[in-house]
Amino acid sequence: MSFEPKILGFLCNWCSYAGADLAGVSRIQYPTNMRVIRVMCSGRVDPKFIFHALELGIDGVFVMGCHPGDCHYLEGNYEAITKFDMTQQFLKFINFDKRVRLDWVSASEGTRFGEVVTEFINHIKELGPSPISGGNPDEDILDKLKAIKMAAGSNRMRALVGREKTLLGSENVYGEQIIEQRFNILIDKAIKDEFERHRVLLALEKDSNSVKDLAVELNIDPSIVLEHVLTLKTRGQVDFQKIKGNTPIFMRL
């Protein structure tokens, strides 16, 4: 039997859900793989929702909203863009970024709705089943996804993403303009760091460990692991457990 991907769609009530309805009224035929969750605005789609779906083994997630400028809530779809961009950047670590998509469908684009859904389903078919679907999920990827979910939900990431539109669009608390390039460097670094830190956290959750062994297990340079462990210590998430020979062992708090 050919691969039939499981797709989940988040559609905003005002444009894309209406576009999906119009596809129905116009009897546009498209494959059956997608199940839709209606939200009032694409800005409501918390990255957690997407990670949760992927963790369950869903093969692809499609978020749809009103075309930029058309948002029923003035600018909710811009909020959706910043959140989605971060989500996708995180998913690059496990090569899942192509399994999620953000697109705009208006209330009069019934045909287009059918087209973009079909295209996305075919695209996921080409990618093949999610490595964490089915009875025998790839534990390494699943672990990484869990770390991503925690990292993306961390206060730091949410603060950066939540403020992005204001900081780049208008000005900061000093009345200064933040240069987009500078902000992007900051956010890229934060994404990488928080991903690795949460991997460290998850690894320590299973068992206390040394920096060197963690570095081997996670395939990250030991000096960087050390930096992460120290940061996590100041955050009150890990601490020294004991010193074995010359090697300190860290534990999850």
Partner 1 sequence: MEKIGAVMVVGAGIGGSQAALDLADSGYKVYLIESTTSIGGVMAQLDKTFPTNDCAMCIVSPKLVETGRHQNIDLSINCEIQDVIGEAGNFTIKVLKKSLYINPEKCTGCGVCGRECPVEAIDVFNEGLANYAATSVKYPQAVPLVFAIDKNYCIGCGICQGVCKAKAIEYDRKDEEVEINVGAIILAPGFDEYIPPEGNLYGYGKYKNVVTSIEFERILSASGPYAGRVLRPSDGDVPEKVAFLQCVGSRDYTGKGKPYCSSVCCMYTAKEAVIAHEHMHQIQPTIFSMDIRAYGKDFDKYIIRAQEEYEVRYIRSRISSITEVPETKDLRIKYETEDGTVVEEDYHMVVLAVGLNPPNDAQFLAEKFGVELNEYDFAMTDIFNPVQTSKPGIFACGAFSSPKDIPDTVTQASAAAGCVNQLLHEKKGTLITEKTLPPEIFVRGQPPRIGVFICYCGINIGGFLDVPEVTKYASNLPNVVLADNNLYTCSADTQTLIKDTIKEYHLNRVVVASCTPRTHEPLFQETIREAGLNRYLFQMANIRDQCSWVHMNEWDKATEKAKDLVRMAVNKARNIEAIERIKLPVTQKTLIVGGGISGMVAALNFATQGYETFLIEKQKELGGFARHIYNTLEGGNVQEFISDLIEKINSNKLIRVFTQAEIEIIDGYIGNFKTTVIHGSKKEKTEFEHGVVIVATGAKEYQPTEYLYGQNNKVILQSEFEKLLNTSNDINDKKSVVMIQCVGSRNDDHPYCSKMCCAEAIKNALLAKQKNPNVEVVVLFRDIRTYGFKEKYYREAREKGVIFINYEENEPPEIISEGSILKIKLKTLKMGEITIESDLLVLSAGIIAKREDNEELAKMLKVPLNDDNFFLEAHVKLRPVDFATEGVFVAGLAHCPKTIEDSISQANAAVARACTILSKDEIEVEGKIGEIDMARCTGCGMCIDNCAYNAIELIDDRRFGRVAYINSILCKGCGACAGNCRCAAIDIRGFTGEQIFAMITGRN
Q: Is 209 helix (H, G, I), strand (E, B) or coil?
A: strand
Q: Is 230 in the site for partner 1 (CB under 8 A)?
A: no
Can you tell me which of 53, 94, 147, 215 binds partner 1, judged by CB under 8 A?
A: 53
The answer to whether 48 touches 135, Cβ cutoff 8 Å, is no
**Closer residue to partner 1, CB minimum distance, 168 or 226:** 168
Which CB, 24 or 128, lies closer to partner 1? 24
Q: Does 99 bind partner 1 (CB under 8 A)?
A: no
Q: Which of 1, 2, 27, 174 binds partner 1 (CB under 8 A)?
A: 27
**H-type alpha helices, 56-174:** 76-91, 110-127, 139-152, 155-169
Residue 14 backbone dihedrals phi, psi, to 5 degrees: -90, -35
Return the sign of the alpha-carbon dihedral for residues 10, 38, 81, 174: negative
- Going 99 to 103 to 109 to 115, the CA torsion angle's sign is negative
Pattern of binders to partner 1 over 123-162, x per CB under 8 A? --------------------------------x--xx-xx
CB of 150 or CB of 229, closer to partner 1: 150
Q: How far is CA 90 from CA 65, 155, 172, in A?
A: 21, 15, 26
Residues 75-94, interacting with partner 1 (CB under 8 A): 75-76, 79-80, 83
* Partners of residue 103 on adjacent β-strands: 64
CA distance 143 to 204: 12
CB-wise, 173 or 181, nearer to partner 1?
A: 173
Smallest distance from the beta carbon of 6 to partner 1, in angstroms?
7
**Closer to partner 1 by Cβ: residue 107 or 251:** 107
Q: How far is the CB of 198 from partner 1 (least distance, A)?
A: 15
CB of 199 to partner 1, least distance (A): 21
